[in-house]
Amino acid sequence: MRDEQDEFVDEEDEESADDSDVENDSRSEGEIESIRHEIDGVEDAVPALADKYQLIDRLGEGTFSSVYKAIDLQHHVFDNSQWRPMSRKGKVYVAVKRIYVTSSPIRIQNELELMHDLSRGSPNVAYLIDAIRHEDQVLAVMPFNRHQDFRTYYRTASLPFLRSYFSCLFRALLSTHTLQIIHRDVKPANFLFDVTTGEGILCDYGLAQRIGGDEWFEWKSNCLHSLPGPAWGGLDGRQRAMRKMEKDPGDPPGLHSGLHGVRLREPLSLPSVRANRAGTRGFRAPEVLLKCPDQTVALDIWSAGIILLCFLTRRFPFFNSNDDTEALAEIMAIFGRRKMERCAALHSTYLTS
């Protein structure tokens, strides 16, 4: 619970924080002018925006969206106590995400629904507080969180710093996974950490995926790493399935055949595999690279582990491959060939040449 003296945020604190950003701005005048023109374009495209929010800067941009810093002009009109304490006279900042029109409508709806559901969860996730649509323009409004570039602190991070960083990250993942949501794009750029307060926010649920229902419990592929649900007989069902795959002619030979448990599959014609491969290069888990259809929240834990590896080795990015094959080779360089071959066998991936 906040103390009464912390219940209000003074205008001086808000203004000094904003001035600090301006003083540390290393962008050229041309770039700043370009951003101003871009902001004008957004306000022209969404007329209703000007009455509620005043865009003042661009925080970042990606393949599917751009994010802007804005002043909430109607903060005192509505009850915003859930995400931001009332201020006496200071400005309240928010982050406005403009989702590009090239994004799939289903993808946009999915992201907004997930962010709305997350509003009931952890304070360490970027949840939805408002949304605006005008024709083909969609804007999502979230709380603004001050943060610093990962490159400015990952080389000098101390153990107490890492404790704070990963405590916030794992609390965010706990809230996300409790709702049976896979973030799918956990990386430093999507975890906004403020080194001055020790608080971090997990953001950008554009690639997130909800899992649940039958797909959460049923075993729907030949990947042997997945534990079948009740319909498949639990652990006994897994053992029966493995024995069946070893005996059936033309099927994958199992884990105990050939060199390191891997050999040529007969026949060589492979069925097409449909699997979600979304994510960022260098942070995707092996099951994504191997096109496994049975993907779980473990993907996010792998990505968090890669972030930890960047801290421990003081190298970022740690993995820097150009394609999935190179990415698997980089992982094999750490874990060894035997473990990667066994991993491939668990995902029903076999040598074909």
CB 228 within 8 A of CB 237: yes
CB atoms within 10 A of CB 251: 14
Q: How does DSSP assign 224-293, residue by residue?
A: TTSPP-GGGTHHHHHHHHHHHHHHSTTS---SSSSBTTB---SS-----------S-TTT--HHHHTT-S
> Which residues on adjacent β-strands are paired with residue 82?
none
Q: How far apart are CA 118 and CA 181, in angstroms?
A: 10
Rg (CA), the chain: 24
Chain-centre distance for alpha carbon 134: 27
Cβ-based neighbours of 152, under 8 Å, separated by 6 or more:
none
**Segments of 159-202 assigned E as strands:** 181-182, 191-194, 199-202
Mapped onto helix, strand or coil, the DSSP state of residue 187 is coil
> Which residues on adjacent β-strands are paired with residue 72?
53
CA nearest neighbour of 86 among 1, 8, 6, 4: 8
Tokens 């960022």 -> residue: 280
214 is catalytic: no
CB 234 within 8 A of CB 248: no
Choosing from 18, 57, 72, 185, which is the catalytic residue? Answer: 185
**Residue 55 is inside which H or E element, if any?**
strand 53-61
What number of residues does the chain have?
Answer: 353
Q: In whole angstroms, how far apart are CA 345 and each of 112, 225, 271?
A: 38, 9, 16
**Catalytic positions, please?**
185
